[in-house]
């Protein structure tokens, strides 16, 4: 019965639910900002370890800096995404959320946007780490932020969907990366390529196809995520 009232909500109702969910998640992120900082520290540590794996060859480090940035971001994202649902698992808050006459679609998008914000912030915060460790900076900062926004959007949508599932299973820490990583291969490829062009130079103007791919990926996964989330959290 709650399902029907949920589905019957008009667009304004859904938007309100989305904003309410978004606000709640952002507030919780702010309150738990120690976690946010810890996840950033994890990402920075990963970037450091990658440089040890390559060795002090500054040319090689610069050439692969984009790859390291996105790998570090991807690894850290599993922590951020898992954590976004762990809050719900405590005290069975997720069931409480679902009992409210709120649309699951609004819930999904609210959470996905909050995760997107978190991941984008993480990505931007890791840029200076990349600049310092790999001597890999760019003057095209706006474009770089744009690529980070598009790439993290692509991570957030499927990530939120899968985090909702895996947070309720036994092997949650292994299952989320196991399910997510193969799925976001296009994001990794395109984001690394785009970031690399920004860092190393783009004489032939090849940036546009990669950002288009990122945008297309995001659009597709935000759409199907919204459609399928309801089934994932239903009882």
Partner 1 sequence: MRQSPTGPKVLVALGVALLLAGSWWGLTKAPGEVYMGEVQRIMYVHVPTAWNAMLALSFAFVCALCFLLTNSWKWDSRLEAAMEMGVVLSLLLCIQGSIWAKPTWGVWWDWDPRLTTTAVMVFAFGGILALRAFVDDPARRAVWSAVACIVAFVDVPIVYFSVKWWNSLHQAQSTPQTVSSAFHLPLRVNAFGILFLWTGLVALRSRVASLRLRNELGPPLPDSKPAVTGAAPIAGGAS
Phi/psi of residue 139, each to 5°? Answer: -85, -15
Q: For partner 1, which is the closer residue by CB, 15 or 215?
A: 215
Tokens linked to 201: 């130079």
Residues of span 106-165 touching partner 1 by CB under 8 A: 158, 161-162, 165
By the rule CB under 8 A, 217 interacts with partner 1: yes
Residues 6+ apart with CB under 8 A from 37: none
Q: Does 222 bind partner 1 (CB under 8 A)?
A: no
- Cα 27 to chain centroid distance, Å, stands at 18
Please report whether residue 186 would count as binding partner 1 according to CB under 8 A. yes
Q: Does 190 bind partner 1 (CB under 8 A)?
A: yes
Angle between helices 33-54 and 58-89 (to 10 degrees): 150
Could you give the C-alpha distances from 214 to 36, 45, 211, 217, in angstroms and in order?
25, 26, 5, 5
Position 60 contacts partner 1 (CB under 8 A): no
Residue closer to partner 1 (CB basis): 51 or 108: 108
Tell me the C-alpha distance between 137 and 116, whole Å: 23
Of 182 and 201, the one with the shorter C-beta distance to partner 1 is: 182
Contacts of 54 (CB under 8 A, 6+ apart): 60, 61, 64
Residue 216 sits in the site that holds partner 1 (CB under 8 A) = yes
Nearest to 152 by CA among 186, 98, 106, 115: 115
Task: Provide the minimum distance between the beta carbon of 52 and partner 1 in the complex, in angstroms, as a whole number.
Answer: 26
183: contact with partner 1 by CB under 8 A: yes
Please report whether residue 70 would count as binding partner 1 according to CB under 8 A.
no
Q: Interface with partner 1 by CB under 8 A: which residues?
A: 158, 161-162, 165-166, 168-171, 175, 178-179, 181-183, 185-186, 189-190, 193, 209-210, 213, 216-217, 220-221, 224-225, 228, 231-232, 234-235
């Amino acid at each position: 019965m709650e399902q029907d009232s949920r589905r019957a909500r008009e667009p304004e109702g859904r938007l309100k639910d989305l904003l309410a969910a978004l606000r709640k998640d952002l507030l919780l992120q702010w309150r738990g900002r120690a976690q946010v900082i810890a996840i950033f520290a994890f990402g920075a540590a990963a970037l450091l370890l990658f440089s040890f794996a390559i060795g002090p060859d500054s040319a090689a480090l610069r050439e692969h800096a984009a790859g390291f940035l996105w790998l570090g971001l991807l690894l850290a994202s599993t922590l951020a995404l898992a954590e976004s649902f762990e809050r719900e698992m405590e005290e069975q808050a997720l069931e409480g959320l679902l009992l409210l006459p709120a649309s699951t679609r609004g819930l999904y998008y609210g959470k996905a946007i909050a995760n997107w914000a978190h991941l984008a912030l993480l990505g931007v915060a890791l840029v200076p780490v990349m600049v310092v460790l790999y001597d890999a900076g760019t003057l095209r900062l706006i474009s770089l932020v744009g690529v980070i926004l598009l790439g993290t959007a692509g991570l957030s949508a499927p990530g939120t969907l899968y985090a909702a599932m895996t947070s309720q299973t036994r092997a949650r820490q292994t299952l989320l990366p196991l399910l997510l990583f193969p799925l976001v291969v296009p994001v990794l490829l395109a984001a690394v390529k785009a970031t690399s062009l920004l860092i190393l130079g783009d004489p032939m103007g090849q940036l546009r196809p990669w950002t288009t791919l990122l945008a297309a990926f995001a659009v597709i996964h935000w759409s199907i995520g919204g459609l399928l989330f309801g089934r994932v959290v239903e009882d």
